[in-house]
Amino acid sequence: MGTLTFTATMSVDGYVADADGDFQWAGPGDAVFAAHIERLSQVSTEVHGRKTHLLMAYWDAEPEPGAWGPAEHEWARLWAATEKIVASSTLSQDDLSKGARLVPHLELDELEQIVRDAPGDVEIFGPTTAAPAIRAGLVDEFRLYIVPKVVGSGLRAFPDDANLDLELVDEGRLDAVTYLRLRRR
């Protein structure tokens, strides 16, 4: 049985993107990228929505020879080996990357079954896709990378009506980013 995790890189005030949808301010430095590689090595299944899937298609193939260094190649290798489930009612199976599975309407009981069947961590990525699972108390661990920036408004990492009782199980500093690993009590 797997563990359901939620990972977010966010501003100090809790946003993953600003009001214009920009998240370039959250781009990882070398230490954070290395931590993401380590994290992804524990993930067997990635559940995400349309926007994340289209964004992450970048990792399907190197844009041009020599564009990626060793860390990017390692990330792409791990990403390719990860089962991907795309929760989207607007994409078709033909729109997906090779090996990804489309679930047009991801229900919580289906997500619970995915977690039960997984041999490792199931990461639900993207706050919109994760919101129902967060509200329902299904997420076991939260892995937060907090960037020292205030953006004021935009897409929040957590749904406004979430009420979570969490326990800090790990913390660290990666360059200027603070890492928190929290577990549901």
**Where are the chain's structural domains?**
4-184
Q: What is the pLDDT of residue 184?
A: 95
pLDDT in tens, 117-155: 999 999 999 999 999 999 999 999 999 999 999 999 999
Q: What is the pLDDT of residue 138?
A: 97
Lookup: tokens for 77: 């290798």
CB under 8 Å to 184, separation ≥6 — which residues? 137, 139, 140, 141, 164, 165, 166, 167
Q: Do residues 137 and 184 lie in contact, with contact meaning Cβ atoms separated by under 8 Å?
A: yes
Residue from 106, 174, 87, 124 nearest 2 by CA: 124
pLDDT in tens, 153-176: 999 999 999 999 999 999 999 999
Q: What is the pLDDT of residue 104?
A: 96
Helices (H) and strands (E) in the chain, counts: 5, 10
Mean pLDDT of the chain: 96
Instruction: Evaluate if residue 110 carries a pLDDT over 90.
Output: yes
Taking the model in full, what pTM does it have? 0.94
- Judge: domain 4-184, CATH 3.40.430.10: yes
Q: Do residues 108 and 31 lie in contact, with contact meaning Cβ atoms separated by under 8 Å?
A: no
